[in-house]
Structure 1
Amino acid sequence: MIAIINTGCANINSVRFAFERLGQTPTVITSPEQLAGFERAILPGVGHASVAMKRLVDNGWQHAINEYQRPLMGICLGMQLLCESTEEGNVQCLGKIPGHVTALDVGQLTSPHMGWNNLTINKEHALTKGLKPDEQVYFVHSFAHTVNNATLVSGEYGQRFSAIVAKDNYAGMQFHPERSAKIGARLLQNFVDWQL
């Protein structure tokens, strides 16, 4: 049983459909009290970090996520919200994944980083099973988590950044696995199969 947390800051349907294609029947939840009843959970997110973080705090999600002991994965902004802090709005985040989110230093490249890009495996993990070097996934972001010990997979766009992170029962994918074709489907299946 997979919960998709609806904080009003994400396109829930594309994530739900991606899991349905894997034979799962995820439930979109709108109340923090519901979270404890699920085996695993997804925190999707798009938009501005400070707005999304305020919604999490104001609506009681921060406590529910802190108490959750099963696999929980953030996608895109959802991953960034699991980290310690972000420069986007200069806000403290949930602090479940070590590290800080900063604006991508893209140099002469355009921002946001949008489109298909390669992945580099930094550490083997249940979430990286079957991932081959230099496979491509779909990104849309202008802020990113710095590479550190929580980084399982990294990407590069002007600078190296974390593409997949994990710490304890919390994980995050900076890209959109639900928009990343067969590779994205494989990575979502890895999340379904992830045992702590």
Structure 2
Amino acid sequence: MKVLILDTGCANFSSVKFAIRRLGYTPIISNEYSDIVSSKRIIFPGVGTPFSAMDVLKKKKIVDLIKNYSNPILGICLGMQLFCKYSEESKSVKNLNIIKYSITCLNNNLPLPHIGWNKVFSCKKNVLFKNILEGSRFYFLHKYILFLNKYSILKTKYGCKFTAALQKNNFFGVQFHPEKSGTVGLHLLKNFLEI
């Protein structure tokens, strides 16, 4: 199965690539049209800013291709946030607008960024969380959030409750970094790849 890690020009792909390899797959890193079309799974990695990532997608002319992708796609951290309308981090940038909600700054008088391990809990049953214990800890590193909404499948709390994972059709997103979350993160990635 062809697994593609989407090259946004601003992410550190090594940890995602090694995690996927540990699961027995050989991922490619690309943003070429032909590679995207022929892939069976896409992982949209999560480092950078909305401005820089969307700029790459626009220059490569793959925005509509990503929006219309029909196989499972997983957005990690920023990758998940780009599925939304826009982010307070780059207010002038229109994101992919697949999910009609916006990303806001985590503003609750706690230290930012939110960094480290945090428990997640189900909002609804979902294949992404199959055979993962309720309250499992995942590794977070971010300061922008998506509040809970009808697409939220996992939630967490850092001062306030917010979306830890979401799904809309074939678009899955996680605010945390499964590739840095040890065994439980690998299990979540395995669940995604086996959808």
Q: For the superposition of Structure 1 and Structure 2, which TM-score range results when normalised by the shorter chain?
A: over 0.9
Letter in 1 for 2:194: D
1:58 Cα deviation (Å)?
Answer: 2.1
**Matching of residue 3 in structure 1 with residue 4 in structure 2:** yes
In structure 2, stretches of 5+ residues that fail to align are none
In 2, the alpha carbon distance for the partners of 1:46 and 1:112 equals: 13
Corresponding residue for residue 84 of structure 2:
83
Q: Which of structure 1's runs of 4+ aligned residues deviate more than 3 A?
A: none
Letter in 2 for 1:50: F
Corresponding residue for residue 142 of structure 1:
143
1:61 Cα deviation (Å)?
Answer: 2.3
Are 2:31 and 2:60, in contact at CA under 8 Å, matched by a contact in 1?
no
Corresponding residue for residue 68 of structure 1:
69
**Matching of residue 21 in structure 1 with residue 57 in structure 2:** no
In 2, the alpha carbon distance for the partners of 1:68 and 1:101 equals: 22
Map Cα deviations across residues 135-177 of structure 1 (whole Å, 9 max, x no partner).
1000000001111010000111121111111101111111100
1:63-142 matches, cutoff 5 A: 63-90=64-91, 91-107=93-109, 109-142=110-143
1:110 Cα deviation (Å)?
Answer: 0.3
In 1, the alpha carbon distance for the partners of 2:166 and 2:58 equals: 23
RMSD value, Cα: 1.1
Corresponding residue for residue 158 of structure 2:
157
Letter in 2 for 1:59: K
Farther off after superposition, 181-190 or 43-52: 43-52
In 2, the alpha carbon distance for the partners of 1:146 and 1:137 equals: 18
Letter in 2 for 1:101: I
Letter in 2 for 1:46: V
TM-score normalised by length of structure 2: 0.95
1:64 Cα deviation (Å)?
Answer: 1.5
Secondary structure at 2:89 match in 1: coil
1:48 Cα deviation (Å)?
Answer: 1.8
In 2, the alpha carbon distance for the partners of 1:179 and 1:102 equals: 24
TM-score normalised by length of structure 1: 0.94
Farther off after superposition, 122-131 or 55-64: 55-64
Farther off after superposition, 51-60 or 174-183: 51-60
Farther off after superposition, 162-171 or 31-40: 31-40
1:187 Cα deviation (Å)?
Answer: 0.4
Are 1:33 and 1:64, in contact at CA under 8 Å, matched by a contact in 2?
no
**Matching of residue 34 in structure 1 with residue 35 in structure 2:** yes
1:51 Cα deviation (Å)?
Answer: 2.0
Residues matched between the structures, number: 193
In 2, the alpha carbon distance for the partners of 1:115 and 1:106 equals: 17
In 2, the alpha carbon distance for the partners of 1:32 and 1:55 equals: 13
Letter in 2 for 1:192: L
In structure 1, stretches of 5+ residues that fail to align are none
